[in-house]
Amino acid sequence: MFAIAIDGPAGAGKSSAAKAVAQALGFVYVDTGALYRAVGLYLLRHGIGPGSEADVTAALPRITVDLGYREDGQHVFLCGEDVTGEIRTPEVSMAASACSAIPAVRAFLFSLQTGMAERYDVVMDGRDIGTVVLPNAQLKIFLTASPEARAERRCRELEARGTPVDYAETLADVIRRDRQDTERAAAPLRAAEDSVTVDSDPMTLDEVVETVLGLARERMGPHG
Ligand code: DC
C-alpha cells in the first residue's frame, strides 16, 4: 500500500489538495478531521464539555464513528447517523479541537485510521498523520499558510455553504485553534522530521496539487 500524509493547520487547504491528489492517483481520500468532528458533535448534542477529560472519556463507549464512501466522497457516521453535513460548523470545529487534545479520544479513533491505510492506498489529511498515525507513510507533506489566508479560505467555504461568518471572528478562531492544536501534549500539530513543507500562500490550489503529485510520482517510481 502507498500512503500520503498531509498535515497542517486548519484552513491551509489540506482537504482540497488531498481530495484532488487522491482523485488523480485513484487513492482513497481520508479526512481524519471529520472523525474528531463527529466526536465533537456527539459531545455538543449531549451537553458534555468537550474539554472535560473525565466526562468525554466516560462517554466514548457510547460513541461509534464510521466512514463510508459515496459518489460525492467521504461520509462520516455517528452512531449510525450520517452527520457529514452537520459537522461543518464553527461550534463543531471548536469542540473537535478541544476533545482532540484528550488522549483517550485519539486512541479511540486510531485504529479506524490505520485500518484504512492497511486496506487502501490513501491520501490522509489531519494533524498527526505523518508523526503518529502513519509514521511509515511513503510521502509526508506539511501544508502551511498564514493565519490570514486560512481565515479568508474558511470564510469563503462557509459562505459557499450558505452560512456566512465574520472575518475577524474567523481569524480569531483560526489562531485559537492553532494554539489548541499545537500546544496540546497528545500528538500536537507539528511537521514530521521527514516531511516536505509546502507553503500554500503564494500558490494556487492547482500548484499545490501538482507539487504533491510530482513528489508522489517520484516516490512511487516508474511502476507506481
Ligand atoms: O481538519 P479539521 O479542521 O476538520 O479538524 C478538526 C479538529 O480535529 C482540529 O482542530 C484538530 C482535530 N484533529 C486532530 O487532532 N488530528 C487530526 N488528525 C485531525 C483533526
Query: What are the pLDDT digits (tens) for 16-54?
Result: 999 999 999 999 999 999 999 999 999 999 999 999 999
Tell me the pTM.
0.93
Predicted local distance difference test score (pLDDT) of residue 11: 87
Distance between Cα 127 and ligand 1 center (Å): 6
Atom of ligand 1 nearest to the CA of 100: 15
Closest CA to 73 of 116, 21, 121, 31: 31
% of the chain at pLDDT higher than 70: 99
| Residue whose CA is at the smallest distance from ligand 1 atom 20 | 33
Query: What are the pLDDT digits (tens) for 131-185?
Result: 999 999 999 999 999 999 999 988 998 899 888 899 999 999 999 989 988 999 9
Q: Which residues contact 50 (CB under 8 A, 6 or more apart)?
A: 40, 43, 44, 56, 94, 95, 96, 98, 99
Please tell me if the CB atom of residue 32 comes closer than 6 angstroms to any atom of ligand 1.
yes
CA dihedral 163, 88, 196, 191 (to 10 degrees): 120
Predicted local distance difference test score (pLDDT) of residue 221: 85
Q: What helix, strand, coil percent values describe the chain, rounded to 5? A: 50, 15, 30
| Residue whose CA is at the smallest distance from ligand 1 atom 6 | 33
Q: Is 123 exposed, middle or buried (0-12, 13-18, 19+ CB in 10 A)?
A: buried
Distance between Cα 162 and ligand 1 center (Å): 22
Atom of ligand 1 nearest to the CA of 11: 3
What cell was used for 48?
A: 458534555
Predicted local distance difference test score (pLDDT) of residue 3: 98
Please tell me if the CB atom of residue 189 comes closer than 6 angstroms to any atom of ligand 1.
no
Query: What are the pLDDT digits (tens) for 69-109?
Result: 999 999 999 999 999 999 999 899 999 999 999 999 999 99
Query: What are the pLDDT digits (tens) for 204-218?
Result: 999 999 999 999 999
Give the H or E element holding residue 142: strand 139-144
Distance between Cα 126 and ligand 1 center (Å): 6
Tally DSSP H helices, then E strands, for the chain.
Answer: 8, 8
Banded pLDDT at 224 (limits 50, 70, 90): low
Distance between Cα 221 and ligand 1 center (Å): 31
Predicted local distance difference test score (pLDDT) of residue 164: 86
> Which residues, listed in sequence order, are joined to residue 144 by a DSSP beta bridge?
199
Instruction: Choose the residue to mutate in 113, 127, 157 for probing ligand 1, maximizing ligand atoms within 8 Å of C-beta.
Output: 127
Predicted local distance difference test score (pLDDT) of residue 223: 63
Query: What are the pLDDT digits (tens) for 187-205?
Result: 999 999 999 999 999 999 9
Q: Are 11 and 172 in contact (CB under 8 A)?
A: no
* Mean of pLDDT values over 113-133: 97
* Mean of pLDDT values over 5-22: 95
